[in-house]
Amino acid sequence: MPANVGGTTGNKCPSLFVGTGLFFGGFMEEKPKIISELEETRDKALASLSQVNDEEALQNWRRDYLGKASQVMLTFASLGQQPKDMRALLGQTANQVKQALEVALEEHTQRVKQTALLHKVQSEQVDVTLPGRAPVQGGLHPQTQVMRRIFAIFAEMGFQVYRTPDVESDLYNFELLNIPAYHPARDMWDTFHVEGEGVVLRTHTSPGQIHAMRQNAPKPVRVILPGMCYRYEQISARSEIQFNQVEVIAVGKNITFGDMKGTLNGFVRRLFNADVRTRLRPSYFPFTEPSAEMDVECFVCAGKGCSVCKSSGWLEILGCGMIHPAVLENGGYDPRVFSGFAAGMGPERISMLLHKIEDIRYFWGNDVRFLGQF
Ligand code: PHE
C-alpha cells in the first residue's frame, strides 16, 4: 500500500496498523498522534516489564502503565472530549493496548512469583545431615547418686530401705534410745525443737531403729534407714544444720560384733575399693554397747598423714555398735534371746571422701557449677 499523504479518497480502511499512515475518519492522514503515542508507550511498557523482578516493582509498573494516571486510562477518560469520528478507533486501540499490558503483566507476575518461590525454596533448604544441638540435660544430685549406691550395696547384702519421719518425738529421738532427759549424752545432739510439746526435728536416723523394730518384732529385721537429719549447729566446712544419714540395723538371733564388722567392711570395700583398709575404734553412743567408730585409710595420703586426715592417716566414716539391751527391749525384742547391730553414716561425708570435696556446704548451696560436675 502506498503512503497515504493527506489522501482524500474517502476510503475507509479498517487497518489501523499500516506503518506509515492510514485512512482515518474519512480522511487520509497521518496516524493520529495520540494513537502512535499509545503504541509507543505500550512498547516501552512491555520492554520495561522484562526488567521487573520483584513484587514492589510489579506494583510500580502497574501503577505507571495501568493505573488511574496512566496514559491508557487517561485516554479512556478523555474519550468524551475526542472528536466523534475518532472515538471508536481510539477506544479500540486503547482497549487493545490495555489488554496487551494486562496479559503481559499477568504472565510476568507468574514468572516473578515462580522465581521468588524457587529462590525461597533454595535459600531455606534444610540440611538434614547437619548434626543437631543436644539439649542441656539435668543430672542427679551428687547426694542422690551416693545414696543410690549405698542402697544398691546394702540391697545386695539383703537390707531393705525403710523410711521414717523427719519430725520425731523426744521419746523416739532420745528416750527410747536410752538417752533420758538428764543424760549428759544429749549434748551430742544440738536439737531443733518444733512447736508442740516434745516435738523435734530428728537429730539422727537412729529413732528409725525403734520404728523398724516395733514394726517387725519378734521377727528378725535387716533394714537401712536413709533420710535428712537436722542439728542446731554452727555451719562450717565440716558441718551443716541439715544433712543425710543412713542408719543400718540388723536384729536377730546370734548376731555378733563380728557380723557387724564383716557387713560394714563389705560395704566400705564395695563403695570405695576392694583393698581399702579400715579400722574400728572404741567409742560411745548411749544406744549401742559396745560402741565403735569405723575409719578408712585416708585416700589423699594413703595413710601417711596429711591435712585432710589431720595427720592421722585415717578418716572417720561411721558410728556403730551392738544395739543396747534397753533399746532392743524398747523395740519389742527380748534382749536375752535377740541381739543386733546398728550403724549410722553421713553420705555427704562419704561423697566428700569419694570426690575430694573440701566443704560440705557445697551440697545444699545449689550452685550448678558444682552440681554439674557429677
Ligand atoms: N546416731 C549416731 C549419730 O548420729 C550414729 C550411730 C548410729 C551410732 C547407730 C551408732 C549406731 O552420730
CB 105 within 8 A of CB 66: yes
Better-scored residue on pLDDT, 340 or 30: 340
Length of the chain counted residue by residue: 374
Which amino acid residue places its CA nearest to atom 5 of ligand 1? 344
Phi–psi pair at 219, nearest 5 degrees:
-75, 155
pLDDT at 17 > cutoff 80: no
What residues pair up with 282 in beta bridges, in sequence order?
292
Residues near ligand 1 (Cβ within 6 A): 204, 206, 247, 285, 288, 319-321, 342-344
CA-nearest of 208, 113, 123, 224 to 166 is: 208
CA-nearest of 247, 239, 226 to 364 is: 239
Distance, CA of 259 to CA of 230 (rounded, Å) = 30
Beta-carbon contacts of residue 306 (< 8 Å; ≥ 6 apart): 298, 300
Q: Which atom of ligand 1 is nearest to the CA of 249?
A: 9
Which amino acid residue places its CA nearest to atom 2 of ligand 1? 344
What mean pLDDT is predicted for residues 169-179? 97
Residue 282 grid coordinates: 572404741
Please tell me whether residue 70 adopts helix, strand or coil conformation. coil
Distance 316 CA to ligand 1 centre (A): 13
CB 146 within 8 A of CB 354: yes
Ranges 145-154, 234-243, 307-316, most confident: 145-154
Ranges 16-20, 75-79, 219-223, most confident: 219-223
- Per-residue confidence (pLDDT) for residue 42, from 0 to 100: 92
Mean predicted lDDT score pLDDT of the chain: 89
Which amino acid residue places its CA nearest to atom 10 of ligand 1? 320
Distance 361 CA to ligand 1 centre (A): 22
Distance 318 CA to ligand 1 centre (A): 8
Query: Which of 251, 285, 323 gets mutated to test ligand 1 (max ligand atoms within 8 A of its CB)?
Result: 285
- Per-residue confidence (pLDDT) for residue 29, from 0 to 100: 56
What residues pair up with 321 in beta bridges, in sequence order?
291, 342
281-330: pLDDT as tens digits: 999 999 999 999 999 998 778 888 887 788 899 989 999 999 999 999 99
Distance 374 CA to ligand 1 centre (A): 28
Distance 336 CA to ligand 1 centre (A): 23
194-203: pLDDT as tens digits: 999 999 999 9
- Per-residue confidence (pLDDT) for residue 226, from 0 to 100: 97
**Alpha carbon distances (Å) from 247 to 206, 208, 319:** 6, 8, 10
Query: Which of 225, 233, 287, 323 gets mutated to test ligand 1 (max ligand atoms within 8 A of its CB)?
Result: 287
Ranges 55-69, 189-203, 204-218, most confident: 204-218
CB 288 within 8 A of CB 294: no
